[in-house]
Chain A
Amino acid sequence: MFPRGADIRLVSGHPEVYEPCDDSFALVDALLADRGNLLNHQARFCMEIGCGSGYVITSLAIILGKENSGIHYFTSDINPNATSVTQRTLDAHGVHAEIVNTDIASGLQKRLVGMMDVIVVNPPYVPTPEEEVSCEGITASWAGGYNGRTVIDRILPVVDELLSDTGWLYMVTLTANNPSEICLVMRRKGYASRIVLQRSTEEESLYVIKFWRDGVDDVQDKDITSSSLGLGSWFGK
């Protein structure tokens, strides 16, 4: 039996930090579903943007850990309580990640350009009024602004800078985020995409999407539409 990720009983908590929930479990389950590919990926650097409780980055380190001791992990969160909680969660599992308290990857993105082999993101995707975005505390973990896209749309160009030529992004999205349009945005940056996991809960339909550069340069905007990518049918429009 291979490791299934972090032990939920060892995940630390704080009133102002998002607890692992359906979306966190969906992201870890997607990483487990793609475990074979991840193990063959020969990653050197992995990163989680927005680590919250640390459940996902700890799980990633455990899933990749035993067979891949040379991997180094970075993670960030805008909430200082979250970075402290993540440290405790990592310590409780005996794994390590370098933690930075920052907005997305501010301060890291200049020197880490093109170095990340795997980036995982469970972004604040809940549609909210714009003024709730980047509030202090736990609100920052879920408040996503218009269509839940405000923070996602800030994260995507940063991820594009950080990923290596062979790097992969795994990101949680919601139907309301218009995931096919997110795929289109990434297609124009040269990324292919596929849904690794789809899960409907009582409240929401979640998609964990994997993105990778498919080596097509100079993609012409006019050639790319949602229908040409066949995305409409994926997301149950």
Chain B
Amino acid sequence: MRLLTHNMLSSNVKGVVNGFPLRLEASTWVEKEVDFNADFLRSMFSKIDWPALFGAAQTVGYVALPESADASMLESEDFLKKFHHALLEIHVEEGALVCPETGRRFPINKGIPNMLLNEDEV
């Protein structure tokens, strides 16, 4: 699971109002190189919740991201490279996503988050 996906997932438990961001717990992760595409990053920036990306990146030990970001930074190649790495190149293999409202844990096994709910949670 890339941090992009973490940024796009929210808790689907019945009754949850916002459910985002899910708190990331990561025990293992790997880095895999992905082709750099500045246009993609510029168009994605407005869709990304920066504090969630920043927090998730910290969790997996990537501390190069600025704590806050605005669109003017998209001019900087250095910023885009870091954004690219955090968003696409870090894959969480084992861990969990925790609902911020209910504490419900969604496990991540072999890189795949499990968002399936029990009958009483739907």
Q: B44: shortest Cβ distance to chain A, in Å? A: 8
Which stretch in A15-23, A29-37, A99-107, A224-232 binds the other chain? A99-107
Q: Closest approach, in angstroms, between the C-beta of A40 and any C-beta of chain B?
A: 17
B residues less than 8 Å from A72 (CB atoms): 4, 40
Q: Which residue of A lies closest to B38 (CB)?
A: A70
Q: Complex Cα distance A110/B113, Å? A: 16
Q: How far is the CA of A227 from the CA of B39 in the complex (A)?
A: 44
Task: Digitize A103-142: 1 where CB-to-B-CB distance is under 8 Å, 0 elsewhere.
Answer: 1001110111001000000000000000000000000000
B-side interface residues, number (CB < 8 Å): 28
Known: A70-B37, A74-B5, A78-B116. A87 touches B110 (CB 8 A): yes
Docked complex: B4-60 residues within 8 A CB-CB of A = 4-5, 7-12, 19-20, 35, 37, 39-40, 43-44, 47
Bitwise interface map of A from 33 to 52 toward B, beta carbon under 8 Å scored 1, else 0: 00000000000100000000
Per-residue 0/1 for B107-122: is the Cβ within 8 Å of any A Cβ (1 yes, 0 no)?
Answer: 0001111111100000
Q: Tell me the smallest distance from the CB of A133 to a CB of chain B, in Å.
A: 14
Chain B residues whose CB sits within 8 angstroms of the CB of A103 once the complex forms: 115-117
Known contacts A98-B4, A100-B112, A100-B115: does B10 contact A111 (CB below 8 Å)?
yes
In contact, B114 and A101 (Cβ under 8 angstroms):
yes
Q: Given the complex of chains A and B, what is the CA–CA distance between A99 and B116 in angstroms?
A: 13
Measured between beta carbons, the chain A residues less than 8 angstroms from B43 are 44
The contact string, 1 if C-beta is below 8 Å from chain B, for chain A 67-101, is: 00110101000101001100100000000001111
Q: A108-B115, A110-B20 are in contact. List 19 more A-B contacts (CB 8 A).
A: A44-B40, A69-B37, A70-B35, A80-B112, A80-B114, A80-B116, A98-B2, A99-B111, A100-B5, A101-B113, A101-B114, A101-B115, A102-B114, A103-B117, A108-B8, A108-B9, A110-B19, A111-B7, A111-B10
B contact set with A: CB distance below 8 Å: 1-2, 4-5, 7-12, 19-20, 35, 37, 39-40, 43-44, 47, 106, 110-117
Q: Lowest 7 CB-CB distances: which A-B pairs, in order?
A: A107-B115, A102-B115, A70-B37, A107-B12, A101-B114, A111-B8, A106-B12
